[in-house]
Chains A and B, each alone.
Chain A
Amino acid sequence: DIQMTQSPSTLSASVGDRVTITCRASQSINYWLAWYQQKPGKAPKTLIYKASTLESGVPSRFSGSGSGTEFTLTISNLQPDDFATYYCQQYSSYFSFGPGTKVDVK
Chain B
Amino acid sequence: EVQLVESGGGLVQPGGSLRLSCAASGFTFSRYWMHWVRQIPGKGLVWVSRISSDGSNIIYADSVKGRFTISRDNAKNTLYLQVSSLRADDTALYYCARDRGGTGPTTVDYWGQGTLVTVSS
B33 to chain A, nearest CB (A): 11
Is A16 an interface residue when CB atoms closer than 8 A count as contact?
Answer: no
Chain A 16-45 interface residues, beta-carbon cutoff 8 Å to B: 32, 34, 36, 38, 42-45
A32 contact set on B, CB distance < 8 A = 104-105, 107
* A43-B111, A43-B113, A44-B95 known; A97 vs B45 contact (CB < 8 Å): yes
Chain A 35-76 interface residues, beta-carbon cutoff 8 Å to B: 36, 38, 42-46, 49, 55
A1 contact set on B, CB distance < 8 A = 62
Point out the residue from B62, B104, B107 that lies within 8 Å of A89, measured CB to CB.
B107
Q: Is there an interface contact between B50 and A95, defined as CB atoms closer than 8 Å?
A: yes
Interface size of A in residues (CB-CB distance below 8 Å): 23
A89 contact set on B, CB distance < 8 A = 45, 47, 107-108
Q: Is there an interface contact between A44 and B111, defined as CB atoms closer than 8 Å?
A: yes
Interface string of B28-66 (1 = CB under 8 A from A): 000000010000000011110010000000010110000
B interface residues (Cβ-Cβ under 8 A, vs A): 35, 44-47, 50, 59, 61-62, 95, 100, 104-114
